[in-house]
Amino acid sequence: MVCNEDEEVEGPLVDTGLLSNPKPKRKKKKKKKKASSSSAPSKTPTFRGVNPECFTDIYLKYDEQTDPPTVPVTVAPEGEVFPYENRASFGDSPAEIRARERLQEDVVNTFRQAAEVHRQVRGFVQTHLIRPGVELSDLCNQLENKTRELVQERGWLERGIAFPTGCSINHVAAHYTPNPGDDPVVLQYDDVMKLDFGVQINGRIIDSAWTVAFNPMYDNLLMAVKEATNMGLSHAGVDARICDIGEAIQETMESYEVEIHGKTHPVKAIRNLNGHSIEQYRIHGKHYIPCIKDGVDESAVMEEGDVYAIETFGSTGRGYVVDGMECSHYMKAFDAGHVPLRMQSSRRLLSHINRTFGTLAFCRRWLEREDGGSFHVHGDNGKQTKYVGALKNLCDVGILQPCPPLLDVPGSYTAQYEHTLILKPTGKEILSRGDDY
Ligand code: HZT
Ligand code: MN
Ligand code: MN
C-alpha cells in the first residue's frame, strides 16, 4: 500500500499540535474536513480508544511495573508542561514566581501521582479489557478494582477512586454506569463509548476521559472531539478568557463532519455540557468551561493555582442533552447544612456515605459491594441493603444530588475527550496527558 506523504496522520504517538499551534488562525469560512474515509490510508492508524497492538509499550516505561499492572504507583511523572511565554508578572520577579512554584510542589506531585495511576489503569483496560463482547459492569468493576490496587485505596480522605466509572454509549453522553440488578449490557462493535473515570489522592482529583469505537466509520467524530479538547487545552492559561476557550472549542469541533451508514452529519458541540474547575474533594468548583462561544461572562478568566477539567463533547444529534434513564451517580451537595432525618434508614445510609465517600461522587454498585465502597473503611462488612428508599429520601431533602445519565436524541452518537490541567506559577501542566490521548 502506498502512503501519501501529505496526508495528515493521527495516532497515539503523533504530536498533539499543541506545541506547533498555540494560536490557530481563524478563517472566515473553513472547509469541512471530509466525512468519508475513502482517501489514501494514513501511516498510523487512528487511535480508537483501545491499544491496537496489545501487550506492548506502556508497561515497559517503568520497569517496576508488570503486565497487567499490579505494582502500586509510587512515581509521579510530570504531565505535559507548557511554560508561559510572556506572562505579565504584575511586579513579581522571576524569583518570587519560582518561590510560589516551590510552595505548590507537594500538591502538584500529588496530582501527578494520581494522574500516573489514571494512565496505568486506562492502559490496562485498553490492552486487556475493552473489546466487543465485554459486559459493562465487568469492565467497570475491573477498572475500578485496578484503580483501588494501584492507588492503594485508603478511604475518601486519603486515596482512592474519585467518582464512578462512566461508560456511556452512543446517544448517552455522560454519567451512565451500570446499576446492580440491571440486565447485562454488552459492548458492540458499532458502539461509541465514553470511558470517564477519576483517581484521587488527598482529595486531589484527576478527571479524564476518552472515547472508544471499534468501527472506523466514527473516526471523524472522535478526531473532531479530540482536537476540540486539545484546542481548549492550548487556549487555557493564567488570564485566559473563558469565553475565548469555548469559542475555540466550538470552532474546531464544528469544522468536522462525519459519514455514518451513508449519511453525512455535521459534528455539533454539545452546548449544555461543560468543563469545570476542580477543588480539593470537590469534582466541580464554581467555574464552568463551555464548549460553545455564547452564554458566558466575558470577564471570567483563569487564575494561577486553578485546576480545570477541560472536556468537550461532540454529537451527530441535537448537540443538547437531557436527563434520562435510571440514575446511578450521586454526590453530597457540597454545602448541605445539617438536616434532621426522620427515617432511621436515611440516617444510617448518610452515615455510611459520610464515612465512605465524604463529598466524592459514588454509585449504587459500590453500596452493594461487600466493602460498601471502601475495604479500608469497612473491610468486608460494608454492604448496604434495602437502601433505595433512603437514597431517594436523601435526594428529596437536598443532602444528595443525583447525577442522572445525560442523553442526546436516540440514534445519535456522542464522543468526549477530557484532561485535567493545573495552572502553576511558571506554566500550565496537562496532568493527565498520556501517549494514548
Ligand atoms: C458529576 C458527577 C460525577 C461533574 C462533569 C463530569 C464526569 O457534568 C459543572 C460542569 C462526576 C463528575 C461530575 F460523578 N460533571 N466530568 N466527568 N462528569 S458535571 C458538571 O456534573 S458540573 C460539569
Ligand atoms: Mn470526567
Ligand atoms: Mn469532568
Q: What is the mean pLDDT of residues 47-69?
A: 70
Report whether pLDDT(54) > 70: no
Confidence at residue 11, expressed as pLDDT on a 0 to 100 scale: 34
pLDDT value for 12: 34
Kindly give, in sequence order, each residue whose CB lies less than 8 Å from that of residue 408, ignoring residues fewer than 6 positions away.
171, 173, 270, 315, 317, 318, 319, 320, 321, 414
For the cut 50, the answer to whether the pLDDT of residue 37 exceeds it is: no
Q: What is the dihedral sign for C-alpha 249, 193, 216, 53?
A: positive
What is the per-residue pLDDT for 28?
Answer: 34
pLDDT at residue 8 tops 90:
no
State residue 166 phi and psi, 5-degree precision. -80, 130
Provide the CA 174 distance to its chain's centre, in angstroms: 10
Residue 275 Cα to ligand 2 midpoint, Å, equals 9
Least confident range from 31-35, 113-117, 291-295: namely 31-35
Q: Ligand 1: which of 403, 414, 418 to mutate, judged by most atoms within 8 Å of the beta carbon?
A: 403
Ligand 1 in contact with 79 (CB < 6 A)? Answer: no
- pLDDT at residue 23 above 80? no
Q: What is the DSSP string of 166-226?
A: EEEETTEEE---PPTTPPP-B--TT-EEEEEEEEEETTEEEEEEEEEESSGGGHHHHHHHH
Nine-digit cell string for 273: 455540557
Domains recognised in the chain with CATH numbers: 80-325+413-430 (3.90.230.10), 329-403 (1.10.10.10)
pLDDT at 174 over 90: yes
Residue ranges with strand state E in 295-365: 307-315, 322-323, 329-332, 362-363
Closest atom, ligand 1, to C-alpha of 207: 17
Please, which residues have CB within 8 angstroms of residue 285's CB and are 6 or more apart in sequence?
Answer: 276, 277, 278, 279
Q: Is the pLDDT of residue 403 over 60?
A: yes
pLDDT digits (tens, 9 = 90+) for 237-293: 999 999 999 999 999 999 999 999 999 999 999 999 999 999 999 999 999 999 999
In this prediction the pTM is 0.88
What pLDDT shows up at residue 436? Answer: 97
C-alpha 6/C-alpha 9 separation (Å) is 9
Residues of the binding site for substrate: 175, 284
Strand, helix or coil for residue 67: coil
Task: Kindly identify the ligand whose nearest atom is closest to the C-alpha of 417.
Answer: 2
> Which of 156, 163, 205 has most ligand 1 atoms within 8 Å of its beta carbon, as the pocket-test mutant?
163
The verdict on the CB of residue 167 being under 6 Å from ligand 1 is no
Distance 5 CA to ligand 3 centre (A): 37
pLDDT band at 53 (very low <50, low <70, confident <90, very high): low
Mean pLDDT value of segment 403-426? 98
Percent of the chain exceeding pLDDT 90 equals 81
State the pLDDT at residue 1. 33
Instruction: Please give the distance, rounded to the nearest whole angstrom, from the Cα atom of residue 203 to the centre of ligand 3.
Output: 15
Q: Max CA-CA distance within the chain?
A: 72
* Residues written for the chain: 437
Residue 22 confidence (pLDDT) above 80: no
Dist. CA 65–CA 75, nearest whole Å: 11
Average pLDDT of every residue of the chain:
89
At residue 85, the pLDDT reads 85
Nearest CA, atom 11, ligand 1: 163
- Measure the CA–CA gap between 46 and 9, rounded to whole angstroms: 8
Residue 88's pLDDT is what? 65
pLDDT tens, 122-143?
999 999 999 999 999 999 999 9
Phi-psi domain of 372 (left: phi exceeds 0; alpha: psi -120 through 50; beta: other): left
